[in-house]
Structure formats: structure tokens, C-alpha cells
A and B are shown apart, each in its own frame.
Chain A
């Protein structure tokens, strides 16, 4: 619990004498939580607003300026059992949110117009087969035009502008045929109305716009949600740093507020939040998040440390720098740049479909005109028939087919703990035939754990745990956590770099390095069969014990690997860690292909080698050293504990301790891709059935309206099948 966060960075003014604060809250997932939090916080005097947003797991608070300390809310939420962190909405999220709002506004206008025009069209259709006078029909047509023309001019803007920019770039996208279709249909309808003709297609045009906007909105809303969750994740990681504001005074500030040149204090057990160079102090550090290497390294003044480094024994002062002199970081960023450039722009299914669609539809319309002219029909009649073809082949179903599935599938993925970073990630994850796992922090849990707890008597474990509470060394912290210790022992001394000792029950009690407790032989025994472990020894009087502390595999890693193999996916481990450690993990998981001590360059070349042979790789990794490989792979995922850089380039981020989300992602994506293809085929079949009717000149506005809404509804219903939760 960090109640000492400096909130001033996050407070906003909300009118006269009112302060506004946004908190990202972990664990709000039901209506009960919402009511509980709001009820509890509104009872605090001077609070003017406490409103939970259940969609984004956030809480908006407003109170009278100066009346309250923001930390009060965080503590109150902690009492209720929720972790809360202040956050700032980044520009990207604000932009995506505004875009989604704009689309929803246009969708509202288009839908309003479509409904009202339908109210005018139905009398015309029914009147045409009974006793409607031509004057009355024209009156209704003009009224329709009056509603539709302004509504279309406003609500179809996204399509027009995107079509224009595509044409400027000498390309064609889905919006070009859509825009041409809309303009042609409206122009023809106006001309027909002027000529007192029997049919006008105003309703079809605006309905088309409304359906397409619905598809666009779904797509955009998915992007907005992704951004919102990414913002929450950043806040929940709550990266703070202890900064010197004067040579003797320190303050805890959000990591985002650290500027190059600031001096940061790092104490044992803390994770560094910035890149920089050590200016004072020596310590063992755990750089597994940077290099995948689980053995601790030594740093001294002058060494580079990276964000994500865990300090083990000593206290360090670090000068933050924008580009640290670390050759590693230079190498990584060089590789990353290269990989991102080489990321051949993946052609989405929707884009591939629209490339086929546009020429075919326009050719069909053109042939219809030519065909009817050759047959001897008047020029006017031929054009009207061709327009009917354009209307009936409307890409409604096509425009809804993919966004609808993506929306439903991303919802299902979110339920299994996967957050998507990219809209086309679903398609790419669905295509993979091989998963490459990084070991450290991906197959294993990032936190240290005690591996040989079952070999040590329970009462010893409890006592050692209580003693371990006096040390902040991460290995000792792991022992204390595993023992579930809560009350530290009295009068304990710490020997820096050695361990802690004192007296208990009248006998000396020690915990620390094996040599410090005289338990070297026990330690060697453990290291023989588990070379990766850090041994922490414990002695009480004559009794000596050794704890093997190491990163353990995620609880369900073996099941997930087996599940992937069952699905016909090849599993491989490629790690920067040393060979014995990787071999052990591969053996435990039953993975036959593994490589150890792999540099970031070799990770990429492995992926490229597979790609040349036509393999499509899903890379799963968390470290700084995995970032280039994540960018180079066909698709990529990283755990929520990964470094910023890795999360930013990965297609998806998964939450929680189990590895199951990786399996779920592959399963759900494959199912979603199947449904997308099905939807496209449905659209094709519909067109194959409808187009001949249109070419024959038999399509009335009524048939067009029925066909359009019918096909869209079928596609939407099919997309909902992606919702069925996979049992993993």
C-alpha cells in the first residue's frame, strides 16, 4: 500500500473550489462493488461526487478544494479491498474516445433519418400498389429528400474523407466504392423525383450509411477500450520513484514525473523505474526482466541500470538519463527499429476482401448499363438498373462482418484475461503454427518463491519467516511471504550483504548467506541439482536448514503447453538464461525444442529463419531483450509484468498468474477467424443471390431495403457466436 504518493500531479480543477481526481481501481467487476464504493465514499464529508465507471474500472472523485487529502480515498478503498491508483488520461486515449463519440453522434443522426424516411417510404410502397396519386407520391419523395440529403451530408463524412485521402494516395480502400455508391444513389433519386418517377432510393442510401456507421463505431469502440485498459494497466503498475528534491530530502513521485538528471534513491527490494547510471552504492541486482538472466549481477558506481532492475542487497543512488550509456539498450533499440520497419504491413482480411469487392461491383454495374443499352433499353432505364445493382451489392454486410466478430471476440478475450493492443491481432494470432516462449518471467512467475518448502519442518518455516521480516532482501521477502509471517522477531540486527541475526529462545538465530549460518554443505547439495536457485540458510542454535529460492513455473504452464501441442501448435523455448536452467524448465514442461543463452539478435534471426520457411510464430515474452523479437514475430503477447517497451510492441497483454490466457487467445482467435470468413462467405452468397435480380431490373426500393437489413442482421447474429466462452 503506497499512501505516500504525491497526488498533486494528478489533481484537476473542476470549477470553483472543486478538485477532480481520477483513480484506476483494480477489482471492480460487478454492480455490488460499484454500490459499495460509491456508498462508502459519498459519506465522507465535503465529497461532492464519487462515481464509478464500470466499463473502464475507474472512479471519478470531486471534493471541495483543500478540505481533504487524496490519500484518504486510496486508504478507504484499500479497507474495502480495492487497489486504487491515480492516473492521467493520455492523448491517444482521449483522441480515440473523441473519435468514438463522433461516430456515435453521426450514427444517431443517420439512424434518426433512416427511421423517419421509412415512415414516409412505407406509404409510398403500399400506395404504389393501391390508389396513391402521383402528386402525393412526389410530395413524400421530396420530404424524404429533405430529411436524407442533409443527414447524409453530415453522417457520411467519415467515408467521404477517408475515400478522398485514399484516392490522393493513388489507392483504393473500402470507402471509395461506398462513397461512390452513396453519391450516385442520392443523385439518381433526386433526378428521379424531379422527373416524377415511381421509385426513389433515399431510404436505401441512409440505411446503408447507418449500418456502415454501426460497423465503424464497433471497431472504434474496441480501440477506445483497448486504450483505456492500457491506461489503467500503466496506472495499476503504479511506478513510483524516490527522488532527491534536495541533497538530504527525498520524496516519492510518479515515475512519469522523473526528468533526466534527477537523482533517484533505490533501496533493497525496490524495482528501478528509470534508466540511468549508478553514482553511489554497490548492490547485487536481479536483471531478469532485462536480459532473462536469473543469476544476480553486481553493480557499482558507473554501471548502467535499466527500468525493471530489482535491487537485492545494497542501497543505490541513480542518476536518471534519457539515453543511458548501456550498450544493451542501444543494441535493443537498433534491433527494434529494424524489426518494426521490416514488419511488412499485414493485409487485414477486411482489406483483402475490399480489394476484391470494389472492382467486381463496379464492373458488374458497368456491364449492366452496357448490357441493357445493347438490349435496346433507354439510357435512363439502364442507369437506374445499374444504380439498383450498386444498392443491392451494398457492402453493409461486408462492413459489419468483421468489426462485429472482432468486438464480440475481444470481449470474450477480455473475459479470459487478454487485452488486445491491435485490432488485427485476432487474425494474426489465429494464423500461427508455432509458439516461442521466453522462459524468465513468462513461463515462470516474476516473483521469487521457495521451491523446497516440503523438505523443511513447518515450525522452522514459520520461525524463519518471522526472522525474514527484518530484511528487505527480495530472497528473504520471498521466505517471509511463503511462510505467511506477520509478526517480526524483536532485537534483530542486519549485517549488510550477509543476513540478519539475533536471539530467540535463548539461542542464536540467523538467516542469510549459507556461509553466514555455517550451512555451506547444505547449500552445495541444493545447488547440485538446482543450479538456478538462490540458497538462503537458516540456523537456530544447532539446527541448520537451507531454503532454495527461485522463480517457479506458472502453475498451469505444463497444461497450456500440452493444450497448444494438442491444437497442432509447435512449442519452443528461446531464453537468454543459462543452459541448465532452460533445460530444466523444458524438461518439466515436456518441450523438445529449446535454446539457451540467446542474445536479442539471435532471437530475431530464429524468428526470421522460421518465417522464411513459411512458419508463423507467436512470440510470448516479457523482457527488454524480447522486445525486438516481439516486434519481429507474426503475432506477440506479453504478460502484464513485462517492461513498458515489450508491452508497447506486443499485440496483446495477458493478466494474472496463470498462463492459460495464451491458450485462450489462440483458441478464441481461431474461432473468430472462422466466423469472420463465414461472415464474408455469407455476404458473398447473399450477393450471388441478389445481384441477378438487380441486373434483371426487378429490384424495387422495398426489396432493396429488406435485403439490406436482412443480410446485416444475419451477419450480426453469426458474429454473436464468438461469445461462447472457451473452456480452457
Chain B
């Protein structure tokens, strides 16, 4: 049972990392266009960027 003292904070810390990830994704505008994002996932290929594709 003493193992809980390590495992529980570890679990919460991992959850906290997840929260930070969410806040970052919100800040970087990933929720601005949910309809578009749904389609981008299945688009045939990403449009080539003007800098040329790095293969």
C-alpha cells in the first residue's frame, strides 16, 4: 500500500501534463476551425507549402 504514495502523485502529475497540453493546444488555435480539422484528417495530401516539401 505504501506504493500509493508514489503512484497517486504520479498519476495526478500525468493528468496535469495532459491539462497543460490542452491549454497549449487551445492557445495555438487548434480549436478555431473544428469543421475544417475534421476534413483535414482525411484529405488526400497536404497542400505543398511554398517552401517546397522536405522529404
Contacts and interface: CB of A to CB of B under 8 A. Distances in A.
Interface of A: 30-31, 34-35, 38-39, 42-48, 50, 52-56, 101, 104-105, 108-109, 112, 115-116, 119-120, 136, 139, 143, 147
Given A31-B43, A35-B44, A54 B36 contact: yes
21 contacts: A34-B39, A35-B47, A42-B48, A45-B50, A54-B35, A54-B39, A55-B36, A101-B26, A108-B22, A108-B23, A108-B26, A112-B15, A112-B18, A112-B19, A112-B22, A116-B15, A119-B11, A119-B15, A136-B4, A143-B8, A143-B12
Given A35-B44, A108-B19, A54 B33 contact: yes
B31 A104 contact: yes
A414 to B, nearest CB: 12
A119 B14 CA distance: 13
Interface string B14-48: 01101100110010000111111001101110011
B36 A53 contact: yes
A109 B8 CA distance: 19
A192 B11 CA distance: 25
Contacts of B3: none
A567 B40 CA distance: 42
A56 B50 contact: no
B50 A43 contact: yes
A122 to B, nearest CB: 12
Nearest to A38: B47
B6 interface: no
Contacts of A45: 50
Given A35-B47, A39-B47, A43-B48, A116 B35 contact: no
A120 B19 CA distance: 17
Contacts, number: 70
Contact of A46 (B12, B16, B48, B50): B50
Nearest to B1: A136
Interface residues of B, number: 27
Nearest to B36: A54
B49 interface: yes
A116 B11 contact: yes
B11 A42 contact: no
Given A53-B36, A55-B34, A116-B15, A42 B8 contact: no
Interface of B: 1, 4, 8, 11-12, 15-16, 18-19, 22-23, 26, 31-36, 39-40, 42-44, 47-50
Contacts of B11: 116, 119
Contacts of B40: 31, 34
A34 B36 CA distance: 8
B35 A55 contact: yes
A31 B15 CA distance: 34
A228 to B, nearest CB: 10
A717 to B, nearest CB: 20
A112 to B, nearest CB: 4
Contacts of A55: 32-36
B49 A42 contact: yes
Contacts of B18: 112
A42 B44 contact: no
B36 A147 contact: no
Contacts of A38: 47
Given A31-B43, A54-B39, A116-B15, A42 B23 contact: no
A47 B48 CA distance: 12
A44 to B, nearest CB: 7
A105 B33 contact: no
B5 to A, nearest CB: 9
B12 to A, nearest CB: 6
B26, B33, B43 — most chain A CB neighbours (10 Å) = B33
A46 B49 CA distance: 11
A71 B47 CA distance: 22
A116 to B, nearest CB: 5
Contacts of A104: 26, 31
Contacts of B43: 31, 34-35
A139 B22 CA distance: 28
A42 B47 CA distance: 7
Given A53-B33, A116-B11, A143-B12, A105 B48 contact: no
A532 B16 CA distance: 71
A53 B32 contact: yes
B15 A115 contact: yes
